[in-house]
Amino acid sequence: MLTLLLVACAPPSAVGGFSITTREDGGLTIVDPRGLVLVDGLRFAVGSGDESLEMKSGSYRQVGGSTTWSPVVAGRPWGRDQVLTVALTDEEKVEIGRVQLYLAGTDVLRVDVESAGNRLRWDAPCTGDDAFAGLGSHVDVDHTGEAFPLWVSEPGVGKVETDVQPEDWFFTGTKHATSYPDPFLVRPEPFGLAVAGTPRIEVDLCTGNRWTLDVWSGTTSFLVFSGETPLQIVEAHALSAGTPMLPPDWAFAPWNDAVGGADRVREVATTLRESGASSSVIWTEDWKGGTQTSFGYHLTAEWTLDETLYPDAMALDGELEAAGFKWLAYFSPFVAEPSAAWAEAEPYVIRDAEGEPYLFAGITFDPTSVLDLSREDARAWAEARMTDALALGFDGWMTDFGEWLPPDAELAYADPIDEHNAYPGWWQLTNAEAIAPFDAVTFSRSGWTGTPSLSPVTWAGDQRTSFDTDDGFPTVVPLGIGAGIAGVPMFGHDIGGYNSIGNPPSTKELWFRWCTLGAFTPVMRTHHGAFKDDNWQFDTDAETIAHYARWANVHTALFPYLRALASQAVAGGRPLVLAPFLLYPEEPWSRADAWMLGASLFVAPVMEEGATGRDVALPSATDWYDWWTGAPAEAGWVDVAVDDIAVFAPAGAIVPLFTEPPDTLVIGALDGLTTLEDADSLRTIRVFAGAAGTFTEEDGTTYATDGIADEAGSNAAMLASGTLSAGGLTLTIDGTVERLYTLEVLR
């Protein structure tokens, strides 16, 4: 429904199809090229702020200061050369700012604001039917009625239910404390808004009758996105922030962690191959050393190989390569004083007011600093250490942290508050440049605008090893949805969780449930957790090994589908993990119990301890079918055994699968192992009845169905292009690669 224009006075001015009108009350109305009112009554305010912040353990709180705001009135737009200018005047009619509006892309209006202050406010009226999704990776999806800062920080070990900081603010997180905030939101109009740059932003999303973004800068650029649907806006925002960086094909098979020394790595590799589990990656975060402490197994502060734990690293790497495994390590930007790296890295760390190294209590409570990544020589030092790791045979690593930049530190070429939110990008760029010449991958948890173009994989962070709803297993779904809206294509999470402080270690039930969701996540990865000897692991018992092998193979069988979705993310900005409302507009924006993996898989995990199933609310806009049986599905209770997961496909869905998932997606002549080349020659095309459909793989092979199946059936043939029929339905294949295709019609 189009919003009516009210209180309009001056005639509208146009730029790039957008119409800008000044209202009698001094607010602005922005109408998109389709005639849709995006915002009516937009106001700005100019502020003078002197707030100060304190950091402890990567968390932050305000310790003083305030902002004084001056409401401003917008004048009548004028302009030339496709640029409109609007003067902003205060109550005394003194000009204290200007706004320039111009087209920044198809359906994207850029709003540049300059002022005499050091704070700016975007201030728009609530409609009474508001929804706000986005703003990064959070434990909820719709943020209406909430107010919180966008500031890269530790999420906390567990969370309170509000955004009021608890007494132990440095340990327990607020509801919206996150490693990955993102200054982009989407509304149902459809309408999207992003803030350019890296300032701190404090959002208030209709706790009253207006919604505001307070930006800690006197000069700010807003990007206004319009489109036919919220999904189009999410896609446009993703591409505006840079082309997503994708991992190699082998990263689409499961990743398994192995720590504790070379013998454990070999044990994990052997167990995986003997179990028949598909896996391409072993991840060894303690390659640089680890110690058992009273709060878990934690890594040492070194930047080089621990030759006691891994005395034959290059030989071990050769064994892993022969067994079809890539080997990943670990890096963070921390440098601790009691480490061998300190003597080398000390010139490159952040400084205090006296010019001395800025030290704080780090993860292991040792005096610690972080690299000043505003310095090119600091980045070069880190890249040299990473190059050394690659020379040992590692194929990438976890790019951990990025949140711990004290606001009172001294940086060589940046302000620690103005560019605090830039630090994850600097860290990710450093890692991206290190792996650029190699067949390698990195994965990170912190982020801001542009992270997907610098980091191939983003994971959810350090969830509790529990079913707790504040920061345990159930939060993985909203965190993944938020990451997708931020533009992250390749999302993952720690199967089993990480933190066991204030909650029990992981149980067999939790691990089983978490593993099944991992299979329907773009990246499937295990983690031992902080208390590795107490947590349930993939090889704790024979039943768990078998469970893991089953779901690892389900995940790898999805490679043709997932790889196609990834190519779509690069070309069009669509994330792999989607909020259901992005595909089905009638779905509630607050929904956080299921996600769409692409357009063809509705994934609904059981996330309650002791549950034998769950209620599933399927979108009503189409017919649905059980992914496993093809039986028609309806909303309501679904029995789901502890070793299973509820997944559904819409009518007309076409999903290409490996007929036989290989041992590894690593390419090469590996004795006795099936690889990507072997699996690619066999393809099952699973088609669901009820509607026609199409799907295109990454290599350009296109599938299209003709007609609606009247029964289940299957058929197979060797071909590159041609047709297959079963169940009264015909599948047309248009490709260049000859494969043994099996059409599987489910009904």
For 585-613, how does the pLDDT look when each residue is reduced to its tens digit (9 = 90+)?
999 999 999 999 999 999 999 999 999 99
Q: Which of 520, 485, 495, 611 shows the shortest CA–CA distance to 143?
A: 485
Confidence of residue 668 (pLDDT cuts 50, 70, 90): confident
pLDDT in tens, 72-116: 999 999 997 799 999 999 999 999 999 999 999 999 999 999 999
Q: Report the SS3 class of residue 197.
A: coil
Q: Give Cβ neighbours of residue 306 (< 8 Å, ≥ 6 apart).
A: 286, 287, 288, 289, 290, 300
Q: Which pLDDT does position 8 carry in this prediction?
A: 44
Question: How high is the pLDDT of residue 9?
Answer: 56
The two tokens of residue 443 are 């994965």
Predicted pLDDT of residue 10: 63
What is the rounded (10 degree) CA torsion for 366, 372, 373, 376? -130
Paired with 23 in beta bridges are 8
CA pair distance 260, 310, nearest whole angstrom? 9
Nearest to residue 445, comparing CAs of 501, 403, 405? 403
Half-sphere exposure of 588 (CA within 13 A, CB side): 12
Per DSSP, helices labelled H in 157-308 are 230-240, 262-275
Say what percent of the chain tops pLDDT 70. Answer: 99
CA 736 to CA 578: how far, in whole Å? 30
Which CATH number fits the domain 249-582, given the four candidates 3.30.930.10, 3.30.565.10, 3.40.50.300, 3.20.20.80? 3.20.20.80
pLDDT band at 364 (very low <50, low <70, confident <90, very high): confident
Q: How is 519-538 classified by DSSP, letter by letter?
A: HTSSS-EE---SSTTTS--T
Alpha helices in 393-507 (DSSP H): 423-435, 476-485
Q: Scan for tokens 């704070």, then name that residue.
A: 119
Answer whether residue 122 shows pLDDT above 80. yes
Average pLDDT over residues 185-195: 97
Q: Is 595 helix (H, G, I), strand (E, B) or coil?
A: strand
Q: Angle 221-455-191 (CA atoms, 0-180°, nearest 5)?
A: 35
Give the largest Cα separation in the chain, rounded: 82
Q: What percentage of the chain reaches a pLDDT higher than 90?
A: 95
Question: What residues have CB less than 8 Å from 343, skipping those under 6 apart?
Answer: none
pLDDT at 4 over 70: no
**pLDDT interval class at 670 (50, 70, 90):** confident
Instruction: State the DSSP string of 216-253.
Output: SSSEEEEEEE--SSHHHHHHHHHHHT-PPP---GGGGS
CA separation for the pair 640, 617 (Å, rounded)? 15
Phi, psi (5° rounding) for residue 473? -50, -45
User: Which among 587, 592, 560 has a CA at the least distance from the CA of 577?
Assistant: 592
Residue 176 DSSP class: T
- 3-state SS class at 211: strand
Q: What is the pTM of this model?
A: 0.97
DSSP 3-state assignment of 721?
Answer: coil
CA angle 705, 710, 712 (to 5 degrees): 85
* 50 has pLDDT over 90: yes
Per the CB < 8 A criterion, the answer to whether 686 and 746 are in contact is: yes
Give 376: exposed, middle or buried? Use CB within 10 Å, 0-12, 13-18, 19+. Answer: exposed
Cα torsion through 148, 153, 154, 159, rounded to 10: 0
In the chain, what is the straight-line distance between the N-terminal and C-terminal CA atoms, in Å? Answer: 37
**Residue 20 structure tokens:** 């800008």
Residues 41 and 24 sit within 8 Å (Cβ to Cβ): no
pLDDT tier, 682 (very low <50, low <70, confident <90, very high otherwise):
very high
Residue 250 structure tokens: 């082998």
pLDDT band at 707 (very low <50, low <70, confident <90, very high): confident
Specify the pLDDT at position 2: 31
Q: Which of 399, 416, 418 is nearest to 456 (CA)?
A: 399
Lowest-confidence region among 70-84, 112-126, 193-207, 343-357: 70-84
Hey, is 156 helix, strand or coil?
Answer: coil
Half-sphere exposure of 247 (CA within 13 A, CB side): 35
Rounded Cα distance, 733 and 28, in Å: 52
User: Do strands 595-597 and 601-604 pair parallel, antiparallel, or not at all (unpaired)?
Assistant: antiparallel
Mean pLDDT of the chain: 96
What are the structure tokens assigned to 65, written together?
Answer: 């200061």
Half-sphere exposure of 341 toward its Cβ, with a 13 Å CA cutoff?
Answer: 27
Strand order in the sheet with 334-336: 334-336, 367-370, 360-361
Written as one string, the DSSP assignment of 84-150 is EEEEEE-TT--EEEEEEEEEEETTEEEEEEEESSSEEEEEEE--SS---EEEES-S-SB-TTEEEEE
> Do 44-240 and 249-582 have matching folds?
no
Number of C-beta neighbours around residue 586 at 10 A: 9
DSSP secondary structure letter of residue 499:
B
Task: Provide the residue ranges of all domains of the chain, joining segments of one domain with +.
Answer: 44-240, 249-582, 654-746
pLDDT top residue among 154 and 296: 154
What does the alpha-carbon distance between residue 546 and residue 544 come to, in Å, rounded to a whole number? 5
pLDDT beyond 70 at 679: yes
Element (H, E) at 317: helix 313-322
Span 617-627, pLDDT tens digits: 999 999 999 99
DSSP single-letter state for residue 11: P
Please, which residues have CB within 8 angstroms of residue 744's CB and are 6 or more apart in sequence? Answer: 684, 685, 686, 687, 714, 726
Angstrom distance (rounded) from CA 701 to CA 695:
8
What confidence tens digit (pLDDT) does each residue in 523-570 have?
Answer: 999 999 999 999 999 999 999 999 999 999 999 999 999 999 999 999
Tell me how many degrees the CA angle 659-663-667 measures, rounded to the nearest 5. Answer: 100
At residue 739, what is the residue type?
Answer: R
H/E segment holding residue 399 = strand 396-399
**How far apart (Å, rounded) are the C-alpha atoms in residues 348 and 371?**
6
With H, G, I as helix, E, B as strand and everything else as coil, classify residue 313. helix
What confidence category does residue 5 fall into, taking pLDDT thresholds of 50, 70 and 90? Answer: very low
pLDDT in the model for residue 23: 96
Is 44-240 assigned to CATH 2.60.40.1760? yes
